[in-house]
């Protein structure tokens, strides 16, 4: 699971990259760049697996949030997969709508993970000493 500041910056950069692709022109290479961005997002989501196990050990009171985030991650991963399957067949307008939805969901998920980590390690465990 990703917990460091550098990793958080990298995650935010990956989501921002998808956002830039939505705003950018739909040239010949656009779909390939979007596909690469979606692969990176799925890899990041896969790295989040095990969040509930780590929280259960360190901060049992936050299990409700860890479970909610796990469900949210599953929905987001499913949306990314649907978008990836549609990428080469959909119109740019359809893809743009779907991409914006994925970007919004990824940002919400990332905020939730940041809140969970803060509550678990800063509030419950008192931060690093």
Q: What is the pLDDT of residues 102-122, one digit of tens each?
A: 999 999 999 999 898 888 877
**Residues whose CB falls within 8 Å of the CB of residue 73, separated by 6 or more in sequence, listed in order:** 45, 48, 49, 51, 109
Domains along the sequence of the chain with CATH: 5-124 (1.20.120)
Asked if residue 24 has pLDDT above 70, the reply is yes
Q: What is the pLDDT of residues 56-106, one digit of tens each?
A: 777 788 888 988 999 999 999 999 999 999 999 988 889 999 999 999 999
Query: What is the value of pTM for the model shown?
Result: 0.81
From the DSSP assignment, how many helices (H) and strands (E) are in the chain?
A: 5, 0
Query: Exposed, middle or buried by CB within 10 Å (0-12, 13-18, 19+), for 41?
Result: buried
């Amino acid at each position: 699971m990703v917990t460091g500041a550098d990793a958080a910056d990298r995650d935010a950069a990956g989501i921002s990259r998808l956002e830039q692709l939505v705003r950018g022109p739909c040239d010949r290479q656009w779909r390939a760049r979007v596909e690469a961005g979606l692969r990176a997002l799925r890899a990041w989501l896969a790295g989040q697996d095990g969040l509930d196990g780590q929280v259960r050990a360190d901060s049992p009171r936050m299990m409700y949030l860890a479970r909610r985030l796990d469900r949210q991650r599953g929905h987001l991963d499913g949306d990314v997969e649907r978008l990836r399957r549609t990428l080469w067949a959909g119109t740019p307008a359809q893809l743009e709508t779907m991409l914006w939805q994925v970007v919004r969901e990824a940002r919400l998920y990332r905020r939730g993970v940041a809140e969970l980590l803060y509550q678990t390690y800063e509030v419950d465990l008192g931060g690093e000493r």
